[in-house]
Structure 1
Amino acid sequence: MSVGRGVALTCAIILMVLWCAIWCVHLLALFYGKWRLHYTPPVSPEDLQGVSIIKPLTGVDPHLYINLETFFKLKYPAYELLFCVQDDSDPAILVVQSLIAKYPKVDAKLFIGVKIVGPNGKINNMIRAYEASKYDLIVVSDSNLRMNDDTLTDMVASLSPKVGLVHQMPYVCDRKGFAAVYEKVYFGTQQARNYLSANCAGVNCTTGMSCLMRKDVLEEAGGMAAFGKYLAEDYFFAEAFREKGYSTVISGQPALQNCGSYSVDSFHQRLIRWARLRSSMIPVIIILEPITECMLMGVLTSWAAQYLFSVSPLAFFLLHVLCWFLIDYMLMRVIENGPLKISKFEFLVAWLLRESMALYLTMRAHSTSKIVWRNRKYRVRWGGLAEEV
């Protein structure tokens, strides 16, 4: 056998092994999601500890009022709401004040001003509220989230003596327009697949949009201020808990993002930012992520199947895409806990656009080390460390 044929054979075998591994990930996410999501472990009222919910705010989103109001309606015995804004000219202040006046029986406070502990603006915004929190459990919740009245109970019920951090799997509410469908399909397929399978396998996949943490363990790690040097503070929160011997788990209810301002382009910018952050923390992702996407994986394994088994590459590719599509559709039904609220045609168009754009967005993400986040520019270095430009 010539050297060239030996290299080709090796590459073809590696690709087929990787292809089989990806299908295992698909099935793992599907079955784990069916088992874990939309299930709240039994919990007695006396086990529902007090919770301090920190809400960092910047500006007013069209849905901000209705999103924040859901936190005033939580059915939970003891919790406090700690709202944070960066300066006294922020219009979010009026929204918070109106809700505090509307629900005087809810323990809620407003903090104005930042405490600089690093380049992470979100951490700087939350520090004063964190230092004033009175309960042993801390929830960090983004401004664009809404909660069901039993969501906090669901998160606390997922705690156990060995669990230090509970996070919600990112998802989105139903909204109007194609951009909303596009986001929902992404979070219900590609994002959900990676999130569920990683959590099942014990891989750190924490996102900080909604997570509950033990305050005493966080204090042992240096407190919230110790994470101000990172942009992806959520990932390093989880790493700190793991180092202390605690596990991190997802709760039964997904996190419901409900942005009032959205578009396909703005969503692409979010995907690019997240890809840059992931690659700075785990460099091997630069190579692995693109080749594990549906279209590129299909092209590569079509060649490998033809080389190894003399299979028609076009037939193999079409079957590969069809199976990927069907399993993604089933996974999104698991996330929705029932039939989809969008048509099959809308799902198809959004799914095709997402899969077709994956390689382009990945290349955009790796074209620079700079990140634009909340109108500020940052340069991310290896290890996830960030500095403002």
Structure 2
Amino acid sequence: MILDIRIAGTISLFAAIFFFILYVVVWCLCLLGWRTARIRYAHPTLPSRISSLSPSSAPGVTIIRPLCGLDQNLYNTLESCMKLDYPKFEVIFALQDENDEALPVVRMIMEKYPEVHAKIIIDSTKVGVNPKVNNLLRPFQEASYDLLWVIDSTISVTPGTLGRAVEAFLSNHDVRKPPMSGEVGLVHQVPIALCYQKTWGSLIEQAYLNTTHAKMYLAINAVAVDSCVVGKSNLYSRSSISQLSTPSPSLRQLPNPPTGLAGYSPFLAEDNMIALGLWHQLNLKHAMTSDVALDFLGALSVKDYIDRRVRWLRVRKKMTPMIATLLEPFTESLIAGLYGSWAIQRLLGASIPALFLVHLFTWLMVDLSTRRSLETNIRSLRPPSSQGMFLLAWLARECLALPIWLLAMTSDVVVWRGGRYKIVSSGEAIRLDEDR
């Protein structure tokens, strides 16, 4: 009996040490994300020197807006790229259907800004399951410039964003050449949600994107041990993309596997896969600027929010090491608070409820500070918000995190843009309703 008690005590001690170390690591990541937000975003942005150059001296940029239907606040998001403070750019609006509801909006914007070099490309070509890749193929081919800035339809940008992005991209190489190994090959911005239609689903999504997601996104990119990119707003070189070989096992079995953008058509998260390709195949670094990508959320229900998070968890678990997926719940505030409080109590002796409350309060303060820092330069653009509503949405997000993760682990099937897909071990998506 005494021996059993000693063994149990030893196991308990080692478990407490393990969880204490894990707790410290999680807090280090949180504080790194918070510190990055404070340093990079909590001050007015400065204009780039490139914005003041003449059109003949500045590197040209092709902005591509892939479109499908009437996304939230579409007119304003598309208009933002027509008002850029940059001397030399063109805009391509890419659609796959001449009856797309976004087309009249695009034409109105082009009529309002005739001085901007802009055009529409409508092409129904399909090379894979990812409609965004299908939508981008012709614009990639017909772009006037090597520098491409791909911006999702729900994203709005501020006038100085492009100049600062190009400046970050060209920091280590000549403006006329594609990046070489070791140089910057991709510039991206952290997405920040704006919510005009304040449904509970959109408020919870906003709380997630503007705190937990932003904090961890900034921390991982600050550590820079591997690629971590979402495709809301990405600037890269067409020449670099064309050099990428496909990571798809199914495509590599073909006699002539596609290279470049077409090689990423089997993946729903093509943005992350392209960024990984630039990082690992071409040894190109990623950079971030002091700008954010303004993501306008629609009227989401709580179910919409849950479905969205489940979908991307199921995609991500096939694209990252299993250990990262298994550890993810331990990075969430409530779970971390529980095992961290127990570990501290076991090692140092203290009240678990008191430790948990201190932990949760500190976590909330860090999240709120991160959110304020990220919103420094967009306060005039965001709609009025209620601090009380945000806190309720934040708490709901934290409570939903573990149930959503557990639900995501139960299946590999996702629903995206009306289609059902199975995500296989390579990260590729297989369409399950091809006959529809």
Kept in 2: contact 1:120–1:228 (CA 8 A): yes
1:7 maps to 11
Superposed CA offset, 1:109-148 (max 9, x none): 1121232222211101111111111101011111111121
Take 1:78 and 1:263, find their aligned partners in 2: how far apart are those partners? 41
One-letter amino acid of the structure 2 residue matched with residue 273 of structure 1: R
Query: SS in structure 1 opposite 2:192?
Result: strand
Take 1:261 and 1:351, find their aligned partners in 2: how far apart are those partners? 17
Q: 1:205 aligns with which of 228, 241, 250?
A: 228
Kept in 2: contact 1:369–1:381 (CA 8 A): yes
Superposed CA offset, 1:39-80 (max 9, x none): 458433266411111111111135111221112222211111
* Number of corresponding residues: 389
Query: SS in structure 2 opposite 1:168?
Result: strand
Take 1:209 and 1:189, find their aligned partners in 2: how far apart are those partners? 17
Q: How far 1:260 moved relative to its partner? A: 3.9
TM (norm. structure 1) is 0.94
Take 2:159 and 2:97, find their aligned partners in 1: how far apart are those partners? 30
Flag the 1:216–1:186 CA change in 2: closer, same or farther, 3 A: same
1:25 maps to 29
Say whether 1:313 aligns with 2:352: yes
Say whether 1:157 aligns with 2:167: yes
Q: How far 1:17 moved relative to its partner? A: 0.6
2:250 maps to none
For structure 1, which segment, 177-186 or 192-201, has the greater mean C-alpha deviation from structure 2 after superposition? Answer: 177-186
Take 1:263 and 1:155, find their aligned partners in 2: how far apart are those partners? 34
Query: SS in structure 2 opposite 1:49?
Result: coil
2:371 maps to 332
Report the RMSD for the aligned CA atoms in angstroms. Answer: 2.0
Say whether 1:239 aligns with 2:245: no
One-letter amino acid of the structure 1 residue matched with residue 336 of structure 2: M
Take 1:382 and 1:65, find their aligned partners in 2: how far apart are those partners? 39
Kept in 1: contact 2:63–2:151 (CA 8 A): yes
Superposed CA offset, 1:152-173 (max 9, x none): 1122122122211001101122
Kept in 2: contact 1:48–1:153 (CA 8 A): no
2:49 maps to 43
For structure 1, which segment, 31-40 or 12-21, has the greater mean C-alpha deviation from structure 2 after superposition? Answer: 31-40
Take 2:414 and 2:392, find their aligned partners in 1: how far apart are those partners? 29
For structure 1, which segment, 33-42 or 276-285, has the greater mean C-alpha deviation from structure 2 after superposition? Answer: 33-42
Gaps of 5+ in 2: 173-182, 245-258
Kept in 2: contact 1:61–1:261 (CA 8 A): no
Kept in 2: contact 1:370–1:377 (CA 8 A): yes
Kept in 1: contact 2:65–2:150 (CA 8 A): yes
Matches within 5 A, 1:67-82: 67-82=77-92
Q: 1:322 aligns with which of 350, 361, 366?
A: 361
Say whether 1:275 aligns with 2:313: yes
Kept in 1: contact 2:89–2:117 (CA 8 A): yes
Take 1:306 and 1:148, find their aligned partners in 2: how far apart are those partners? 48
1:284 maps to 323
Superposed CA offset, 1:11-30 (max 9, x none): 11111111111111121112
1:249 maps to 287
Say whether 1:217 aligns with 2:240: yes
Take 2:144 and 2:194, find their aligned partners in 1: how far apart are those partners? 31
Say whether 1:61 aligns with 2:84: no
Query: SS in structure 2 opposite 1:224?
Result: helix
Superposed CA offset, 1:268-326 (max 9, x none): 22221221122111122321111111111112222222322232111111111111111
Kept in 1: contact 2:121–2:138 (CA 8 A): yes
Kept in 2: contact 1:181–1:342 (CA 8 A): no
2:207 maps to 185
Say whether 1:121 aligns with 2:131: yes
Take 1:143 and 1:232, find their aligned partners in 2: how far apart are those partners? 16
Gaps of 5+ in 1: none
TM (norm. structure 2) is 0.84
Kept in 1: contact 2:189–2:293 (CA 8 A): yes
Superposed CA offset, 1:68-120 (max 9, x none): 11122222111111111121221111211222222222111112123222221
Superposed CA offset, 1:148-197 (max 9, x none): 12221122122122211001101122524254443332112100111110
Flag the 1:80–1:18 CA change in 2: closer, same or farther, 3 A: same
Take 2:408 and 2:148, find their aligned partners in 1: how far apart are those partners? 32
Take 1:141 and 1:208, find their aligned partners in 2: how far apart are those partners? 8
Identity of aligned residues (%): 34
For structure 1, which segment, 193-202 or 60-69, has the greater mean C-alpha deviation from structure 2 after superposition? Answer: 60-69
Kept in 2: contact 1:48–1:157 (CA 8 A): no
Flag the 1:157–1:41 CA change in 2: closer, same or farther, 3 A: farther
Take 1:366 and 1:166, find their aligned partners in 2: how far apart are those partners? 32
Take 1:152 and 1:332, find their aligned partners in 2: how far apart are those partners? 23
Q: How far 1:245 moved relative to its partner? A: 2.0
Kept in 2: contact 1:48–1:156 (CA 8 A): no
Q: 2:194 aligns with which of 135, 158, 173?
A: 173
Superposed CA offset, 1:324-364 (max 9, x none): 11111111111112889634322321111111110011112
Q: How far 1:239 moved relative to its partner? A: 1.4
Take 1:4 and 1:117, find their aligned partners in 2: how far apart are those partners? 58
Kept in 2: contact 1:29–1:193 (CA 8 A): yes
Superposed CA offset, 1:179-231 (max 9, x none): 44433321121001111100100032100011000111111113211211211
